[in-house]
Structure 1
Amino acid sequence: MINKAEELRALRVRENCRIVSTPLTKHLRIRIEEFWEHAQDCLAGGGSRRRTLAIIGESGTGKSTAITHVLNSFDEFKPYKNEHNEKIIPMLSIEVEYSFTPKDFAIHVLRKLGADGSYSSNETVLYDELKNQLRASGTILLHIDEAQHLKKSGSSKAVMGLKDRFKSLLVIENWPLHLILSGVDDLSELFTGDQQMPNRSSVMRFDTLSSPADNKRVEEILADIAANCGLKVDKALTTPDFLGRLVKATGGGIGTLIEMVRAACYKALAKEHLAVKAKDFEFVYGRTSGSLPSENIITAKAWVDLDRSNALIDLVPKTVEPKRSRKKASK
Structure 2
Amino acid sequence: MNLTSGKKPRLAAATDPMVRRVATAVGEAINPKTARVAATMDYVKSAYYTTRNDALISVPIDRMAGAISIMDPDTFAVTVHAETGAGKSTLLEQHVQDRKEFQPIPDGYGDFLYPVLYVLVSSKATMTDLANDILDAMDYHVTRPKKPSLLFKDVRQQLRLRGTRVIILDDFQHVLDAPKTKGPEHIADSIKNMIQDRKWPIFIVLLGLPEIKNVILYDPKDQLLRRVDDFPLRPLTLVEDGAFVSAVVIELVTQRAKLNLSGDLVENFTERLMFGGRYQFGVIIRIIYHAIQDALEKDKDAVDRQSWEAGYRRLVNASDDPAANVFSNDNWRQMAIPVNRTGPYVPSAKN
The two structures have a TM-score, normalised by structure 2, of 0.76
The residue that corresponds to 1:165 in the other structure is 190
The residue that corresponds to 1:120 in the other structure is 145
Show CA shifts across 1:146-190 (max 9, x none): 112122359799543332121111011232311111111221212
* Structure 1 segment 28-107 matched on structure 2, within 5 A: 28-29=57-58, 31-41=60-70, 43=71, 46=72, 48-49=74-75, 51-84=76-109, 87-107=112-132
Higher mean displacement: 14-23 or 168-177: 14-23
The residue that corresponds to 2:54 in the other structure is 25
Q: What is the CA distance between 1:87 and its match in structure 2?
A: 4.9
Higher mean displacement: 118-127 or 54-63: 118-127
Show CA shifts across 1:46-82 (max 9, x none): 3644x21221112211111122222222344344442
Runs of 4+ with deviation above 6 angstroms: 154-157
Task: State how far apart, in whole Å, the 2-side matches of 1:273 and 1:244 are.
Answer: 24
What RMSD over aligned residues (CA atoms) do the two structures have, in Å?
A: 3.1
User: SS of 1:132's equivalent?
Assistant: helix
1:218 partnered with 2:242? no
Q: CA 1:204–1:278 in structure 2 vs 1: closer, same or farther (change >3 Å)?
A: farther
The amino acid of 1:179's aligned partner reads I
Task: State how far apart, in whole Å, the 2-side matches of 1:245 and 1:225 are.
Answer: 18
Q: CA 1:313–1:303 in structure 2 vs 1: closer, same or farther (change >3 Å)?
A: closer
Task: State how far apart, in whole Å, the 1-side matches of 2:346 and 2:146 are.
Answer: 48
Percent of aligned pairs with the same residue?
20
Q: CA 1:170–1:162 in structure 2 vs 1: closer, same or farther (change >3 Å)?
A: same
1:255 partnered with 2:282? yes
Q: CA 1:100–1:273 in structure 2 vs 1: closer, same or farther (change >3 Å)?
A: same
Q: What is the CA distance between 1:138 and its match in structure 2?
A: 1.7
User: SS of 1:139's equivalent?
Assistant: coil
Q: What is the CA distance between 1:277 and its match in structure 2?
A: 2.9
- Out of 13, 16, 25, the position equivalent to 2:45 is 16
Q: What is the CA distance between 1:40 and its match in structure 2?
A: 1.8
Higher mean displacement: 260-269 or 77-86: 77-86
Task: State how far apart, in whole Å, the 1-side matches of 2:229 and 2:263 are.
Answer: 42
- Out of 240, 243, 259, the position equivalent to 1:231 is 259
Task: State how far apart, in whole Å, the 1-side matches of 2:322 and 2:39 are.
Answer: 32
The amino acid of 1:109's aligned partner reads I
Task: State how far apart, in whole Å, the 2-side matches of 1:172 and 1:17 are.
Answer: 39
Asked which structure has the greater CA Rg, the reply is 1
Higher mean displacement: 61-70 or 122-131: 122-131
Task: State how far apart, in whole Å, the 1-side matches of 2:265 and 2:182 are.
Answer: 50
Task: State how far apart, in whole Å, the 2-side matches of 1:154 and 1:302 are.
Answer: 44
Q: What is the CA distance between 1:102 and its match in structure 2?
A: 1.4
The two structures have a TM-score, normalised by structure 1, of 0.80
- Out of 203, 210, 225, the position equivalent to 1:185 is 210
> Contact between 1:236 and 1:242, CA under 8 Å: does it hold in 2?
no
Q: CA 1:215–1:193 in structure 2 vs 1: closer, same or farther (change >3 Å)?
A: farther
The amino acid of 1:225's aligned partner reads L
> Contact between 2:290 and 2:312, CA under 8 Å: does it hold in 1?
no
Task: State how far apart, in whole Å, the 1-side matches of 2:218 and 2:264 are.
Answer: 48
Task: State how far apart, in whole Å, the 2-side matches of 1:139 and 1:130 are.
Answer: 11
Task: State how far apart, in whole Å, the 1-side matches of 2:271 and 2:41 are.
Answer: 26
Matched length? 308
> Contact between 1:237 and 1:243, CA under 8 Å: does it hold in 2?
no
Q: What is the CA distance between 1:311 and its match in structure 2?
A: 4.4
User: SS of 2:78's equivalent?
Assistant: strand
Q: CA 1:5–1:134 in structure 2 vs 1: closer, same or farther (change >3 Å)?
A: closer
1:142 partnered with 2:167? yes
Q: CA 1:264–1:80 in structure 2 vs 1: closer, same or farther (change >3 Å)?
A: same
Query: What residue ranges of structure 1 are gaps of 5+ in the alignment?
Result: 315-331
The residue that corresponds to 2:176 in the other structure is 151
Show CA shifts across 1:79-103 (max 9, x none): 4442355652321111111143211
> Contact between 2:165 and 2:201, CA under 8 Å: does it hold in 1?
yes
The residue that corresponds to 2:228 in the other structure is 201
